[in-house]
Amino acid sequence: MTNHVMDERLLRTVFSTVPSGVVALCASVDGEYVGMAVSTFVPVSLDPPLVSVCVQNASRTWQRLQRAPRLGISVLGEGHDRVARSLAMKEGDRFAGVETVTAPDGAVFVAGTDLWMNARIDQTVTAGDHAIVVLEISEVTLHDDREPLVFHRSTFRRLERAS
């Protein structure tokens, strides 16, 4: 076992060893689609129905997205690698080639995903260089069963079913 001095690069490597699911967080803001891929999604509470995501404080996308009254959460699954990469781009049209469905309240969902959750921001907690955003779910839509997309060691992966 080797102890290391913690720096940002080491911490990125350390944190990447924890597999996580990937969700798309999207909305229509001032008539324009705004969205991001998030790999820090956690169910929080059943009553009230709450989930959380973590976003960088410096994220320009989050600065725009948090102005939306409603946010669409789409749980990405097998075959959504390209969608996740597109929504994670720093520049360019993140929605090019991404099929979406927009709710009347402005929440935007990625078509072909297992689960959609319509949410609003309940609270935001500052946590270092990120914010923990707690979202209250008002509506869910379940679709076909699809294997999850997992982010592990800075790569999108699929789970294999155990035999």
Q: What CATH number does residue 131 fall under?
A: 2.30.110.10
33 lies in which domain range?
21-150
Q: Looking at the 3D structure of the chain, how many domains does it have? A: 1
Task: Judge whether 2 lies within some domain.
Answer: no
Average pLDDT (64-91) is: 93
| pLDDT confidence of residue 163 | 65
Q: What are 36-74's pLDDT values in tens digits?
A: 999 889 999 999 999 999 999 999 999 999 999 999 999
Task: Judge whether 38 lies within some domain.
Answer: yes
Q: What are 112-127's pLDDT values in tens digits?
A: 998 999 999 999 999 9
Give the confidence band of 23 by pLDDT, cuts at 50, 70, 90: very high
For the chain, what's the residue count? 163
Task: Judge whether 12 lies within some domain.
Answer: no
CA-nearest of 79, 71, 119, 121 to 99 is: 79
